[in-house]
Amino acid sequence: MGSWRVERLDQLPTALLATIMTKLDISSICSLAVICRAFNSCASHILSFLPNFHILDISPSMEQIKPLLPPNSHLQSLKLDCGQLNDSSIELLLRPSLQELCFHNCADFSGKLLSEIGSRCKDVRSLYLGSVAEKRGRATHISDLEELLGGCTQLEELNLMFDLSLFLRHNFARVWALASKMLTSLEIGYISSVMVTELLSPNVGPHQYPNQIRPSILPAIQKLSLAVDYITDTMVGTISKGLTLLTHLELRDAPLIEPRVTFDLTNSGLQQINQHGRLKHLSLVRSQEFLSTYFKRVNDLGILLMADKCANMESICLGGFCRVTDTGFKTILHSCSSLYKLKVCHGSQLTDLVFHDIAATSLSLTHVSFRWCNLLTNHAIKSLVRNTRLKVLDLRGCKNLGDEALPAIGSLCELKMLQLDNSDISDVGIAYLRHGIISSLVSLSVRGCKKLTDKCISVLFDGSSKLELQELDLSNLPNLSDNGVLALAKSRVPISELRMRQCPLIGDTSIMALASMQADDDRGHGSSLRLLDLYNCGGITQLSFRWLKKPYFPRLRWLGVTGSVNRDIVDALARNRPFLHVACHGKELGTDPWNNIDSSYMHDYEELDELEQWLQEGEWESDDEEMEDAEDDADVVVE
């Protein structure tokens, strides 16, 4: 910016600047702060009465966050990634004025975080705590939970995303009796089904006469989301009977061993769901995380019994129901006239016949997911698209889907997310998307579609129209090479997340092309990419790391690389870009769309590198030198 323009900005009235900045988020304020002296001064002042402070995309240290959080009696909402913070930051973070707290990655905190929130933030209404005390040597005690629940008497929404099964069982229910009577939403990262049952059972309480029933705990709960060891009939029945206002129920388990009948879900358990008739959203998922196991004691009869009470359901997610056939799934489609979201995972007996007379349903579906339903074919999709308002279509693992399904999918003009992983599509079929939905898609995944080649990139992104695509997964495509990535870079599509895992022909040329890529909005080199997954790409060498350092990829926050790449180079890159999450061991980056399918697809990360610049001012040159030294030590040879 010219010096005369900066001088004019410096002359703007302070009151005007302050009024404008109060309408912005913290990233935008930091963006303005680096423009000129007047903006910087105003930004520093505005932080003392800013009502919202949200930084979730990077993980600042105590030294970096402290100047941004001066005394502020007006602060109501605080959201942070606490990956570099611990108990020493509690006094800085917790304020009496806070009504909303959201702390991710609290592994280095102890249970003291819970007790201090209970004593310092008594007016908090919404609380999210992730991964508390997961680092070795950190611990939480039942007394910490007791102080949290007893102190935060105004809580309406509580998300405890860590393992609560470590708390002592004999005191657990007593402690929850202290919880806010206004609590309407509860999510727990992990808890045993026995603890849930004991918590919600109307048993005779201590020091009561035998005919005295303990008052209902959590009487106002409307939304309950739990990850448990086993989903059981007893737990489902206790929840359905005890929580009379329940509208959302999400249960997920991941058994370590095959469940016995007393620790499993059966037809009887399904029959108990929605006893009070208010349930609108139901999710029952058996994860295959540790063991390939299913709900083997549930069949079509259980679904039929459940459907009798679920006519008003709007969203149903069923994962691992291997004995449910077309009869059961068809009953759901035809009984629930308000159903807009249907997800089925590992539906091994789900076939095309479910959709044979789909025209007789309400055709109200907007979100559909059939993961690993291997019997579905192109005919099912041709019938399914009668739901013309589909916005999300997840067909991952449906191996019998091929090119014939794509013309039908291409007719869905409102589709935003399409996932076709491991299907049998080819370059010829994918052309149908080019002439249909590609201009509306925000997320596209063709991972593991082994027939696709470089040609699919040029077919999809020929530059003939403006695209909204932000997320693209090209992983596990053995015939995708640097030429395909060059075509992608040339298209100037403003992609923010690009995955190319397990592509043996992808090499350094691809990284150079992406580093030099300019999106249509001309925000700079590689400006739109915030996630880049290159794990196990065959041609990646140390040369690529020269293009991964600043100033290239200025908004990159997640990077996946192969662990065999020289470790010194990786460590130097991490020091060069301390806010970059580097994964070397094959970990999937970012979040799972299965769990975020309703979230907004449009994000603006334009200001994030200015925020990083303000947090880390003056550190670039020394970090670049470290990177170059590491490259020299690795004896990189560029031919």
Per residue in 199-208, pLDDT (tens digit) is 998 663 444 4
Terminal CA-to-CA distance of the chain, rounded, Å?
A: 39
Q: For residue 569, give the amino acid letter.
A: I
For residue 210, pLDDT over 70 is answered with no
Confidence at 132, pLDDT banded by 50, 70, 90: very high
Q: Average pLDDT in the 309-336 region?
A: 96
Q: For residue 438, give the amino acid letter.
A: I
Within 10 Å of residue 404's Cβ, how many Cβ atoms? 16
Give whole-number Cα distances, 449 to 398, 421, 474, 503, 512, in Å.
11, 6, 9, 12, 25
Within 10 Å of residue 471's Cβ, how many Cβ atoms? 19
What is the pLDDT, as a whole number, of residue 36? Answer: 73
What is the pLDDT, as a whole number, of residue 477? Answer: 98
Helix (H) or strand (E) holding 90: helix 90-93
- The answer for residues whose C-beta is within 8 angstroms of residue 510's C-beta and 6 or more apart is 482, 485, 486, 500, 537, 539
With pLDDT > 90 as the criterion, what percentage of the chain qualifies? 65
- The answer for residues whose C-beta is within 8 angstroms of residue 345's C-beta and 6 or more apart is 285, 317, 318, 319, 320, 369, 371, 372
Phi–psi pair at 411, nearest 5 degrees: -85, -5
For residue 143, pLDDT over 80 is answered with yes
Q: Do the beta carbons of residue 425 and residue 446 sit within 8 Å?
A: yes
Strand, coil or helix: what is 188?
A: strand
Structural domain boundaries in the chain: 11-50
- The per-residue b/e assignment along 497-514, b for 16 or more CB within 10 angstroms, e otherwise, is bbbbbbbebbbbbbbbbb
Q: Do the beta carbons of residue 358 and residue 380 sit within 8 Å?
A: no
DSSP code at position 311: T
Confidence at 463, pLDDT banded by 50, 70, 90: low
Residue 258 pairs in a beta bridge with none
What is the pLDDT, as a whole number, of residue 596? Answer: 39
The closest of 34, 31, 63, 69 to 48, measured between CA atoms, is: 69
Give whole-number Cα distances, 262 to 170, 185, 266, in Å.
22, 28, 9
Helix (H) or strand (E) holding 100: strand 100-104
Confidence at 565, pLDDT banded by 50, 70, 90: low
Residue 163 pairs in a beta bridge with 190
| Whole-angstrom distance, CA of residue 628 vs CA of residue 545 | 10
The closest of 273, 275, 281, 334 to 298, measured between CA atoms, is: 273
Q: Which residue has the higher pLDDT, 188 or 521?
A: 188
Q: Average pLDDT in the 428-434 region?
A: 92
Q: What's the mean pLDDT when you consider all of the chain?
A: 87
